[in-house]
Amino acid sequence: MKKITIGITDCSRYENYQKWIEAEKAVEVIRLSHHQNNIEEIKKCHGVLLTGGEDVHPRFYDRNEYLELCHEVDERRDEFEWKVMDYTEENRIPLLGICRGLQVANVYFGGTLLPHIPAFGKFDHSKTGTDDRYHRVQVDPNSVLKQIVGRADGEVNSAHHQAADRVGKELVASALSADGIVEGLERQDRNDKGFLLLVQWHPERMKDQDNLFSKKIKGKFIAAVRQSRP
């Protein structure tokens, strides 16, 4: 089995993602850090995982008035991950985006975000105290996500106060919550494009790692990276 290298973007809970990915055989990871600005390290990566964390600064989707509804922002991280997206798109590198990863990718493709979900009349999707919230999602029966998990619905964890609003160009929603929040995004047209899967939940820390919305997500991402490796 060929060894693959996966770049994981830096965040306060980086180790969670690192352990989740390194549990697979013949996998090593590289910490792609906006703190170190080591974007050149991405050239060693066969796949990339965009992690959760700070809110995307609303200037990146022309909604500066939303800044007061944001919790924490780090424009250095936004700019760094923009470069990550540039590289993965130009080189057809498989990419998995989790939570903020979905949001930054949606903005990259020209979409916008809801800066604070409850302020827009939706259910609260943030944590309950220190624990992730859990809720069900509906999966598009024609989506790649449906092919991956093999289910029309399922239970996922939730710990976010922002979400995709207008979906970016070339993307389509693959899963929704009961109140219409986008829970998954993927490409509309996959021809001549790299693997791209974006989920709003946190598969790396779901209580049940055998849950198909965790286990199958990671498995498909790893398989896509192996398949694309030269």
Active site residues: 99, 202, 204
Helix axes of 14-22 and 212-228: crossing angle, nearest 10 degrees: 70
Distance of CA 106 to CAs 96, 98, 230, Å?
12, 12, 28
DSSP 3-state of 128: strand
Q: Is the dihedral of CA 228, 186, 116, 123 positive or negative?
A: negative
| DSSP H or E segment with residue 176 | strand 171-177
Helix axes of 75-91 and 100-108: crossing angle, nearest 10 degrees: 70
The residue type found at 6 is: I
